[in-house]
Structure 1
């Protein structure tokens, strides 16, 4: 049984070695996506205002974006009020289902960029490469398969080296290269396995959901081309923003979704005061009827069932920001471990094949 498991462990690693390396390197970089964006695009990502300055109303901001980008309709909106980071508006080109985004100063209304594609910025391109290998739906499917293989490699590795604790700190540097690489492979694999299992499972889960969504929305059904706003434009989005904060105790909206498909309503996602460090900034939601503005749905993560809480926790667990800079550094470093595992595993595989060849 152990020999068969070892064989499948080796085969799985050989099949997925290249995409795993790509996922590993890009994922470790993307742990610091916000920091990189801020460093690369400070004029787009940051604002310099005093602590007392207030945001302009969403109605004013949305109207300003529409005025400056008449060929687009506003679809979603990232909301920030920390006096440092800019808002990001996501747009759909009128008459199409092509997305773009713009950065703006939410305190002055100043437009800080022209519309760019959602994969045009460097880190967005890396994100596209990370989870779909720049291949759209086919890439998402490949990403799901690779994540499942990585999950299998992690589990099978733990089973194969379940007695690792007996020689965990053994690294025989002065002996043969094969022995050193074998020790290094086991040490790195076991050390990083908890994080790799989390990353592999959450990555596979999201990619499978995305593939299912893409097939349903864009293959079985024709994608909807945005022509005009799908909500009642007489509604005050700012009033709904304020209303949402009263619907759920301590609710702070962080993301606005305007209907960009006929069946959608107006929804605010956000965060609440919670003792659970894994609750994300999008874990709560308030939905309003797109025509009347009446509240139609609320979700408070503090009252949600266990499955919903677990599902929401995947965001912080995958991106590693649940404990601030400390967890991000750990996720970044251990996220690179598959590169070491790939190199050492490939060497060990080559060594075994060469040995068999010499015997034959």
Structure 2
């Protein structure tokens, strides 16, 4: 899914905590009209001596919009790497919403924030996720996601608290570490899984990116849809399979899922869908090699269906829960692309069938 860059830039603010040269600078972003989230270390001095926290929104109107903010989550119990700040007067622009999208190594990420060397205008940074750290790995910092970067910026100080966007989904918060001569030269992020409780305690919604349509036994009927001229129907009929109402419904549901995945534009899910189709084609091919019938394909279709049912929870298990009904529909998507058929020499049989059909 493509990032809405205008929405992101408008929702991101500068954060100043404290006064004078000793103040701390960072980035925050709107998660509701009256709340932002930032990295806790940006506002440490508030917890130490009640230093004021000022938010500066540069891109909502043609002038600065200022808000004084205070933390709302209780860090005295258990200190979190992120802090939610609240203020009284709402900001009139769209806020950003977290999703439960699972980050993977080499995913493309983007962020916009205010490193001190780009304090006046802000800076976009885009690269790939280096690696996702699990509990067994050494983690010297608070973050659980290492980020590559190819920026010419030598100091990322101030970028802490910026949104982590992966495939257009808000999935975490950026953190930086001062490692060399007080310059932050490393980039990382904390994923939503590490501060989910903070969001829930503050009643901040997390969008579920899974395809809930297929998490149930719900089956959509292709009402008013005529598949008579579709290749997969002609393939069935050229193999003397004329009772194909269920095949049409399976195809229809597989097409719905395909459109949902393509509309989201998430590379990982598009690849997962393609891999699932490839596995189903392989199952068909194994059965097809031993199949000899030149005229009737009902036995082959039934045999492939049964094998898909047998492997539903093993070989054909998907990252997103995909119903058995849809997996059978993928067979007919492959047939529509002329990658599978139901009798020997199915391509020539299809041509003969289409010729006779055209003459009648």
- Which is bigger in relative contact order (C-alpha 8 A, separation at least 6)? 1
TM-score bracket relative to the smaller structure: under 0.3
Which has the larger share of strand? 2
Which has the larger share of helix? 1
**CA radius of gyration, larger in:** 2
Q: TM-score w.r.t. structure 2 length?
A: 0.24
Q: TM-score w.r.t. structure 1 length?
A: 0.24
